[in-house]
């Protein structure tokens, strides 16, 4: 019973469409890009609805959100478990990573300074093998 009992909400055509398109890429995309993908697929979904749906999914931890250097929010369907991201600075290719080492480290550091009720954000940026050889 980790989190199955959510307010649910109605499974509308638009929400299904967004959920589906989220499966079609594995890097981070902006709301506008996602809206574009939907349109390209012939799915008609209002931009505002795309924004609303993505926020709902983010609140439910069903997508991860992060901010580009320019401050734009980008979204990605991710594992439900805690993890971080290794992102290609060039093509966006993303790998989910995890490890007890960082988790331990952040907790230790925070304890040391008396901070409680912790959370953390960590992303690693680099150039992926494909872009390196390209």
Does position 39 interact with DNA (CB under 7 A)? The reply is no
| 100, 105, 106, 110 alpha-carbon torsion, rounded to 10° | 140
Cα four-point dihedral sign 73, 79, 80, 85: negative
| Residue 46 interacting with a second copy (CB under 8 A) | no
Q: Which is nearer to a second copy, 48 or 118 (CB)?
A: 118
Annotated binding site for Fe cation: 82, 103, 120
Q: Are 59 and 9 in contact (CB under 8 A)?
A: no
Q: Would you state the structure tokens that stand for residue 77, as one six-digit string?
A: 């369907």
> Applying CB under 8 A, does 114 fall inside the site for a second copy?
yes
Name residues contacting DNA, limited to 42-101 (CB under 7 A). Answer: 44-49, 51-53, 55, 70-73
Residue 27 vs 111, nearer CB to DNA: 27
């Amino acid at each position: 019973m980790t989190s199955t009992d959510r307010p649910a909400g109605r499974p509308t055509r638009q929400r299904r469409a967004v959920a589906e398109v989220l499966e079609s890429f594995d890097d981070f995309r902006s709301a506008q890009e996602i809206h574009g993908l939907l349109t390209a697929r012939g799915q008609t979904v209002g931009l505002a609805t795309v924004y609303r749906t993505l926020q709902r999914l983010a609140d439910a931890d069903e997508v991860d959100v992060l901010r580009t250097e320019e401050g734009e929010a980008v979204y990605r369907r991710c594992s439900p478990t805690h993890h971080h991201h290794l992102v290609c600075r060039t093509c966006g290719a993303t790998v989910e990573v995890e490890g007890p080492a960082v988790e331990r480290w952040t907790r230790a550091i925070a304890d040391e300074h008396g901070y409680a009720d912790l959370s953390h954000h960590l992303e690693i940026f680099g150039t992926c093998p494909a872009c390196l050889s390209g």
